[in-house]
Structure 1
């Protein structure tokens, strides 16, 4: 749909100048970094897709599987463009269409990667907090009784 309805020259505003739709073809990574190394990103994308699929398969919890799955989905989405989009196999440019102000233009795969990374960070913080609690290094505020909450101590 983006290819048929959007243009590289004209931006369609969605939320003023903050978010809009504009077509871009990105040979590199975010903000076109590494645009002369598209084939490197293709190889990295293939390796990442394999490693992330295995990691999701072996995830220790559903939360980790979901976080990894989001990153995997984004990586595969961008990899498909790298493999099959012009200018050629393994050198394809990623189709971007979500313009974030004047910062950069991205796509849904980028959003999925961001969500997955965010969920992964939350899961790591949750795990770290749980480990501290099990070692008695932090109070378990979720199970505090009223005397603890009022600052009273037993003698």
Structure 2
């Protein structure tokens, strides 16, 4: 009588299934968020120290002007009806990203969401701790492109840039069919398993 065991069947064990998936990307998201948040914090401190009460500083041949603006509105000067409401929205965004982080298995999505998280935290910090008071603080903006006073484009900061770049990256990945779980959706609509060569991107 043969003593050979039949090939091991799929038992549905969650540990077996998870071993075949791309690794989680929580660490990458955290590193990106911390670095981008640090850049935003340091540049705002430097801007308030060097530009307060000063005329716009022209650099890069006039492509960029450094000018301190205290902005009570949303990113790029958009008004959505109250500084406190924007602070609440930022808190919700931060909470959703942190909750969602455990599902991330795509490096691209981790970078994109890390940038959005950093930008939301950066501007939220201003709204919580800067004048005129908690939940009403004005955001420090200091980058004006192609002219001073935001005459061609609203004055912005590193946090706004992080949010914009992160959101654009997420949209691009979605268009390319690269999902947050590390899988790739082909043009025909088929979604290969996450442990395939395509699914690890």
TM-score of the pair, normalised by structure 1: 0.78
In 1, the alpha carbon distance for the partners of 2:54 and 2:79 equals 23
The structural deviation recorded for 1:16 is 3.1
User: Which ranges of 4 or more aligned residues in structure 1 deviate by more than 6 Å?
Assistant: none
In 2, the alpha carbon distance for the partners of 1:88 and 1:44 equals 17
2:173 to 123, 128, 146: 123
The structural deviation recorded for 1:57 is 3.0
Q: Which string of whole-angstrom CA distances, capped at 9 and with x for unpartnered residues, describes residues 112-147 of structure 1?
A: 111101211221122178421565xxxxxxxxxxxx
Q: Who is 2:127 aligned against?
A: 82
Q: 1:116 to 1:34 in 2, by over 3 A?
A: same
Unaligned runs of 5+ in 1: 136-155
In 1, the alpha carbon distance for the partners of 2:144 and 2:169 equals 24
In 1, the alpha carbon distance for the partners of 2:162 and 2:77 equals 19
Q: Structure 2 matches for 1:133-144, cutoff 5 A?
A: 135=190
Q: 1:111 to 1:8 in 2, by over 3 A?
A: farther
1:62 to 99, 107, 124: 107
Tell me the number of residue pairs that the alignment of Structure 1 and Structure 2 aligns: 135
- Does the Cα contact within 8 Å between 2:76 and 2:160 map onto a contact in 1? no
Q: Who is 2:141 aligned against?
A: 96
TM-score of the pair, normalised by structure 2: 0.61
Q: Who is 1:106 aligned against?
A: 156
Higher relative contact order (CA 8 A, sep 6+): 2
Unaligned runs of 5+ in 2: 1-45, 179-183, 191-201
The structural deviation recorded for 1:104 is 1.4
- Larger relative strand fraction: 1
